[in-house]
């Protein structure tokens, strides 16, 4: 393998030993880089620096970088619930942002075929993914988080009348996209226990699952069904999150519990599962979500529960590596 002299002249000296080959054909520069023992975050920075340097050449219109050697094992965490409307997607988006801020190379897959929310939550609704070598390329969302959703592939006002196998096949294509150096994929599952959920857990075998429920009994009954799905497919339950737990009146400050309180924590204790925390019912969370700017991206008190849950998730992943 050899490196075109034009490329050699612009590659920073500290990176030169890693470039195994490089050529320019019809304006396209293709580089092969040795990524042995290179963490994903370093690899991303390396790629960006190489592309910037080579793209400055007058003879280059496009730069492609491929990596060989060791790759960081990509891990998958599913976020599930037994029913819709309990805040599963909002939790997923905020966890992604909190993890990104903590230095984790994280991506998001929105597997909710019939009600995709992540393009809105992570401000990528107008993006349309491209394909390369029959693989989809994730689009950047809020804070540059790579993501893919059915909402990127289908017009927002179009109803999807797909049977289960067709929906599962579409989500499989999203999962098998070119995720590059992403170390952790958060998988926002549809509510329930249907074909898409079964395909995701059986084919891609998440490392673990986070279960979301509101405090009332009806939501928790459905959440237990989701837990049974993961149990039957031998996917560990990382822990439970109680959403919409407590409402502080913006006028008087009095806290009430329109959906009850503590039910998920008690259930976690009874079932021997970790309780990861409570997220309040708060107008600020809803407004930030609708605006595509998750509260975990800021430093307000509203970010605190998401940051704490993200920390516990990171610790669980380290302990189970």
Q: What is the tens place of the pLDDT at every residue in 151-184? A: 888 766 666 656 767 777 888 889 989 898 899 9
CATH topology of domain 5-68: GMP Synthetase; Chain A, domain 3 (3.30.300)
Main-chain dihedrals φ then ψ at residue 51, nearest 5 degrees: -60, -40
Residue 194 has pLDDT above 60, yes or no: yes
Residues 6+ apart with CB under 8 A from 72: 39, 40, 105, 181, 183
- What's the token pair of residue 146? 């790579």
Q: What is the tens place of the pLDDT at every residue in 245-261? A: 988 787 887 878 888 77
CA–CA–CA angle 169, 172, 173 (5° rounding):
95
Q: Are 127 and 101 in contact (CB under 8 A)?
A: no
Following DSSP, what letter does each residue of 181-218 receive, concatenated? T--EEEEEPPSSSSHHHHHHHHHH--SEEEEEE-SSHH
Distance CA(244)–CA(206), nearest Å, equals 26
Average pLDDT in the 268-291 region? 93
User: Looking at per-residue confidence, does 273 or 84 come out higher?
Assistant: 273
Residue 298 has pLDDT above 80, yes or no: yes
pLDDT at 313: 98
Residue 231 has pLDDT above 70, yes or no: yes
pLDDT at 160: 62
**Minimum mean pLDDT range among 1-10, 86-95, 238-247, 275-284:** 1-10
Average pLDDT in the 51-65 region? 93
Closest to 298 (Cα-Cα) out of 147, 101, 144: 101
Residues 6+ apart with CB under 8 A from 206: 76, 77, 78, 187, 200, 235
Q: Residue 229: count other Cβ atoms within 10 Å of its Cβ.
A: 20
Residue 93 has pLDDT above 90, yes or no: yes
Distance CA(118)–CA(112), nearest Å, equals 9
The answer to whether the 5-68 and 75-319 domains have the same CATH topology is no
Q: Where are the domains of the chain?
A: 5-68, 75-319
Q: Does domain 75-319 have CATH number 2.60.40.10?
A: no
**Minimum mean pLDDT range among 129-133, 134-138, 154-158, 175-179:** 154-158
CA–CA–CA angle 272, 199, 144 (5° rounding):
85
pLDDT at 254: 81
Identify each DSSP E strand in 58-162 by its residue range. 62-68, 75-80, 106-110, 131-132, 135-136, 139-140, 146-149
Distance CA(152)–CA(140), nearest Å, equals 11
pLDDT at 38: 67
Q: What is the tens place of the pLDDT at every residue in 14-49? A: 888 889 889 999 999 998 888 776 666 677 788 889
User: Looking at per-residue confidence, does 269 or 121 come out higher?
Assistant: 121
Distance CA(90)–CA(5), nearest Å, equals 50
């Amino acid at each position: 393998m050899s490196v075109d002299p034009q490329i050699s002249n612009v590659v920073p000296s500290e990176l030169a030993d890693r470039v195994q080959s490089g050529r320019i054909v019809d304006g396209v520069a293709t580089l092969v880089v040795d990524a042995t023992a290179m963490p994903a975050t370093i690899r991303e920075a390396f790629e960006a620096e190489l592309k910037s340097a080579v793209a400055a050449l007058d003879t280059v219109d496009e730069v492609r970088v491929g990596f060989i050697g060791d790759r960081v094992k990509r891990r998958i965490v599913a976020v599930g619930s037994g029913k819709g409307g309990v805040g599963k997607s909002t939790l997923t988006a905020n966890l992604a942002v909190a993890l990104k801020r903590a230095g984790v190379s994280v991506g998001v897959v929105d597997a909710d075929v019939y009600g995709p929310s992540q393009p809105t939550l992570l401000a990528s609704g107008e993006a349309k993914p491209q394909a390369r070598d029959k693989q989809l390329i994730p689009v950047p969302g809020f804070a540059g988080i790579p993501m893919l959703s059915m909402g990127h592939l289908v017009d927002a006002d179009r109803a999807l009348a797909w049977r289960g196998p067709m929906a599962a096949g579409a989500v499989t294509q999203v999962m098998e996209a070119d995720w590059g150096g992403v170390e952790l994929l958060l998988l926002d599952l549809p509510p329930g226990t249907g074909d898409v959920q079964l395909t995701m857990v059986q084919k891609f075998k998440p490392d673990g699952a986070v279960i979301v429920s509101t405090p009332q009994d009806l939501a928790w009954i459905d959440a237990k069904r989701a837990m049974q799905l993961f149990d039957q497919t031998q996917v560990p339950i990382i822990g439970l999150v109680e959403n919409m737990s407590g409402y502080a009146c913006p006028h008087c400050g009095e806290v009430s519990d329109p959906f009850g309180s503590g039910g998920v924590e008690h259930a976690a204790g009874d079932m021997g599962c970790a309780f990861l925390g409570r997220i309040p019912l708060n107008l600020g969370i809803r407004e930030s979500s609708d605006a595509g700017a998750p509260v975990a991206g800021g430093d307000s008190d509203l970010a605190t529960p998401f940051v704490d849950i993200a920390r516990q998730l990171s610790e669980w992943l380290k302990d189970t590596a």
